[in-house]
Amino acid sequence: MEDGEAVLEFERDVLAGAGAQVTTLTGFEAAKSAIESQLFDALILNGKMPGAGGVQQTHAWITEKRPALSKHLLFTFSSLAEAEVRTFLEQNQVPFLVKPFEVGDLIANARRLLAKTKAAGAGS
């Protein structure tokens, strides 16, 4: 989920090139609808998505609607997140990247999210 078309295309191309099946969404309302109606293994979200209300609210909404998915999130930021946001992410063990990030960092984080998904599925 990203509001910048160029960034969205970049992230999609990188992740698809690494073998992921990618769904792209440009608005928070579209993302909410998709999250409620489709199954996802992981989410990569812009931490300052217009209309989302902030990281804490987005995380709370996902935790309420799709509790298992709340452990498979990666937030991205165009600048370093505020101290309270960083603290929240660290306390909840939610990874984040600051743009511009390295392609390898995006792929590595996505793989960690997907590995956590597979590990959780193996236990059920």
Provide the mean pLDDT of the chain. 88
**Alpha-carbon span 60 to 88, nearest angstrom:** 11
Structurally, at CATH architecture level, domain 5-122 sits in 3-Layer(aba) Sandwich (3.40)
User: For 58-90, what is each residue's pLDDT tens digit?
Assistant: 999 999 999 999 899 999 998 876 889 999 999
| Tens of pLDDT, residue by residue, the chain (124 residues) | 888 888 889 999 999 999 999 999 888 888 899 999 999 999 999 998 888 888 999 999 999 999 999 899 999 998 876 889 999 999 999 999 998 889 999 999 999 998 866 665 544 4
Q: Which residues contact 26 (CB under 8 A, 6 or more apart)?
A: 1, 2, 3, 5, 8
